[in-house]
Chain A
């Protein structure tokens, strides 16, 4: 209650200060401060209030500051012009930066002409970076180069070993003669282990020629068969071979291989399950170019195979093959 009364006294004092208090309000204020020590202490009497406010009025009357401001439409126009200028400046900076970056990328490093003999060495963050000049390899350049260059992809010339004859009851059959098979292009510089060549690629012509030489090594057929062999029929075996023959596995080297003039032979083993689907590719002899090895394995994994069959039932097996890449684009 006391607080409300004192707040009322504040309102009355404010009215007195502003010169808006009526006589009844002045009397009410006088009556309150006569009995309220805190209000008379903090607010003072009517004379004190008017004295303070007179000081404020005197300061107001003595003020001489008369500023002059620019007309608002000038400010608005200047603001618009400033906005245009800032926008044009930002666009110009962006344009210059873009041109500069492109020019540096296109000509900057080339103009520097660092060479292995005289390389550019940059100290950055405590590390020494050495720039060597290399012909930039772009996709466009690689494609243009690939049109003029070509890469020969061949299967290797491989000396076949005699086929396995470990199947029980197959002793009476003649072993397959070794054969030389060249696919696409005959390039006989690389020899891969004979066991790496699949059986399906045996060349009939080569086999006919080699038969004579091989026949001498073929053991004579057995004159007598065990009776049990007549009872147990020999199993029929078909080795794993790709569906589609030579064209089934078609490695496609990437453009970087052409640009780099990649050469080499990649030999690989492919695990094929009983359904003829490749499950794992292993590089047994790397070409020296990772891209070539990847291309071979990628093509091999995409191919489909006739699985190795024993008595008509597909079994998991391993397919071995090799490819030689010879690039003459840099010749």
Chain B
């Protein structure tokens, strides 16, 4: 959350910083987005858009600091927009066989599949709160800064998400 990329003006320097940013965060952002949207391909596209937006912002405003929180905030907004646009906020993508297989093969564990099925039933706000804290490792304060809300609101969202996760994961 505290990573701050200093102002860069040279085009090659911008490319170098972006490259470093991609190397450090592409996996985390992609995993976060895959949990949010429930689809690997869509998550890759959204991840690409996040870093493309960062690249353009740095090209136009090199004086603006770029934090990891900015990346997560952009990723969250992109995921919520995608879910709203596709009207699949309540969809459970892993009900499809090939998606379930891909997750199982990928992670060699039924826990991830179960977790993804539970997250797919969460509202985007609760899902983003859980994933930012439990997956990205942010505190409630930092997640609140990313989501534009208060720390108590983040804790409450995590609690309500946890209730849903508990019921689903207990059933399974």
A62→B107 CA distance, assembly (Å): 6
**B55 touching A72, Cβ below 8 Å:** yes
> How many Å lie between the Cα of A202 and that of B162 in the bound state?
115
Q: Residues of A contacting B139 with CB < 8 Å?
A: 18, 20
Q: Is chain B's binding surface mostly helix, strand, loop or mixed?
A: helix
Interface 9-mer from B1-9, B80-88, B91-99, B128-136: B128-136
Return the chain A residue nearest B150 by Cβ.
A11
* A49-B162 CB under 8 A given contacts A18-B140, A62-B107: yes
Q: How far is the CA of A53 from the CA of B155 in the complex (A)?
A: 13
> Which one of A14, A69, A71 contacts B159 once the chains associate, using CB atoms below 8 Å?
A14
Report yes or no: A69 in contact with B115, Cβ–Cβ below 8 A. no
Name the B residues within 8 Å of A106 (CB-CB).
none
**A57 touches B (CB below 8 Å):** yes
Q: B37 near A: Cβ within 8 Å?
A: no
- Partner of A67 from B47, B52, B56 at Cβ < 8 Å: B47
Task: Decide if B162 touches A52 in the complex (CB within 8 Å).
Answer: yes
Chain B residues within an 8 Å CB radius of A79: 52
* Chain B residues with CB under 8 A of A44: 166
Residues in A with CB closer than 8 Å to B165 are 52, 55-56
Known: A53-B134, A71-B22, A76-B55. A59 touches B112 (CB 8 A): yes
Could you say which of B19, B40, B166 contacts A52, with CB atoms under 8 Å apart?
Answer: B166
List which B102-155 residues lie within 8 A (CB) of chain A.
106-109, 111-112, 114-115, 130, 133-135, 139-140, 152, 154-155
Q: Smallest Cβ distance from B58 to chain A, in angstroms? A: 9
Contact with B along A44-83 (1 / 0, CB 8 A): 1000110011011111101111111111110110010000
> CA separation between A7 and B150, bound complex, in Å?
14
Residue of A with least CB distance to B11: A73
B106 and A67 contacting across the interface, CB-CB below 8 Å: no
Main secondary structure, interface of A, reads helix
Determine if B68 is an interface residue (Cβ-Cβ < 8 Å).
no
Does A56 lie within 8 Å of B130, measured CB to CB? yes
Task: Name A53's contact: one of B31, B40, B162 (CB within 8 Å).
Answer: B162
Q: Is the CB of B155 within 8 A of A18?
A: yes
Cβ–Cβ < 8 Å partners of B134 in chain A: 18, 53, 56-57, 60
Q: Do B135 and A73 touch (CB < 8 A)?
A: no
A10 touches B160 (CB 8 A): yes
12 residue pairs of the A-B complex, CB under 8 angstroms, read A13-B155, A14-B140, A14-B162, A18-B133, A43-B163, A44-B166, A56-B130, A59-B107, A59-B112, A62-B109, A67-B47, A70-B48
Listed from nearest, the 3 A-B pairs whose CB atoms lie closest are A14-B155, A72-B55, A14-B159
| B residues with CB within 8 A of A | 15, 18-19, 22, 26-27, 30-31, 34, 40, 43-44, 47-48, 51-52, 54-56, 106-109, 111-112, 114-115, 130, 133-135, 139-140, 152, 154-160, 162-163, 165-166, 169
A residues contacting B by CB (< 8 A) are 7, 10-15, 17-18, 20, 42-44, 48-49, 52-53, 55-60, 62-73, 75-76, 79
